[in-house]
Amino acid sequence: MEKVRLMLVEETPDRAGDLSAQLKTLGYTVVATVPSARQALQWIDRVEGQESRPDLVVIDLDHSTPLKLIRAAIGLLQESHIPVLFILGSDNPHRTPAPQSPEDPFTYLRHPFTARELESSISLALHRHRLERQIENNERMFHAIMDEVAEGIIMADAKGRITYMNRTAQKLTGWRFQVAQGKPQTQVYRVQDNVGRPLTSLLGTVLSKGEKVNRRGPIGLNPYDGDALWVCESALPVHDDRHEIIGAITVFRRAPSPVLWEAQNCEVLVI
């Protein structure tokens, strides 16, 4: 099995040799030891080839270093897709979130620690990083597939706020997802009947009843800019593992004029 490559950022020089030796004793390869996170980033930028890059950066903090500066440097490290393990001194004043917090991308260890605790923290940091990369790759694949679907797809949370729009939905509504994200879906996806009267969104029905709903016949969709479009639509709820509603999906596609729709199929593909 290939050894894990570590870079050690040691802001406390008198501990540098001890920690490096401990890491090597545990079977890790220490590719470099530098005195700051910024210098770690510079070292990584100079490295050519993935095989020479560290798998993890271990940062042994000096208690006098402002956490704001450290996180700024670590943000740059994250752009290189390298996980980070913070080691804090027992007298370090920095307050850190709980290691299990999903909002925090870092893993923490505090002096004094045992060899087993150090090894476990390194394994945790690497495992979390692999999971995060897998989630990122899955999201890229999801977006690539959804952007090739002919139907418009809008996802909203349990409060009706937009969390996702595919490329077709953005084109038909005239809203870019970056602008629409977090807004009430009823503000972005505005529909009317064939004489221009506003229609109640299917979203509210789906979120309250928890059942799939199909709209019979085409309806008018009012885009952000331009004339109304005729669309067919369906909506369905999204449940968590406890069967509680956590959101809804609205699927819609272009449809012919209501004058012609009776001879047409207004079913919508629901994914």
Q: What is the pLDDT of residues 161-191, one digit of tens each?
A: 999 999 999 999 999 999 999 999 999 999 9
How is the chain split into domains, by residue range? 5-143, 147-263
Query: CB-based contacts of 234: which residues, under 8 Å, 6+ apart?
Result: 202, 212, 213, 214, 215, 250, 251, 252, 267, 268, 270
pLDDT-based confidence at residue 245 (cuts at 50, 70, 90): very high
Confidence of residue 14 (pLDDT cuts 50, 70, 90): low
Which range, of 39-48, 67-76, 116-125, 220-229, averages the lowest pLDDT?
67-76
Separation between Cα atoms, residue 253 and residue 7, nearest integer Å: 52
Lowest mean pLDDT among 101-110, 119-128, 161-170, 182-191: 101-110
Quote the tokens at residue 75.
Answer: 């943000």
Q: How far apart are CA 53 and CA 107, in angstroms?
A: 20
Percentage of the chain modeled with pLDDT above 70: 79
Which pLDDT score, from 0 to 100, does residue 27 have?
A: 93
Query: Above 60 in pLDDT, residue 20?
Result: yes
Query: Mean per-residue pLDDT for 98-102?
Result: 47
Instruction: Please give the model's pTM, rounded to 2 decimal places.
Output: 0.70
Give me the pLDDT at residue 218, please: 81
Contact 59, 86 (CB under 8 A): yes
- Interior angle at CA 213, CA 230 and CA 203, nearest 5: 75
Question: What's the confidence (pLDDT) of residue 49?
Answer: 62
127 or 52, higher pLDDT:
127
Q: Of the CATH numbers 2.60.120.10, 3.40.50.1100, 3.40.50.150, 3.40.50.2300, which one belongs to the domain with range 5-143?
A: 3.40.50.2300
pLDDT of residue 66: 61
What backbone phi and psi angles, to 5 degrees, belong to 229?
-115, 150
Residue 53 clears pLDDT 70, i.e. is over it = yes
* pLDDT above 80 (res 33): yes
Contact predicate 255/261, CB 8 Å: yes
pLDDT band for position 17 (cuts 50, 70, 90): confident
pLDDT, tens digit, 9 for 90 and up, residues 194-227: 888 999 889 989 999 999 998 877 889 999 988 8
Q: What is the pLDDT of residue 81?
A: 81
Report the topology of domain 147-263. Beta-Lactamase (3.30.450)
Q: What pLDDT band is residue 100 in, cutting at 50, 70 and 90?
A: very low
Average pLDDT, stretch 229-258?
90
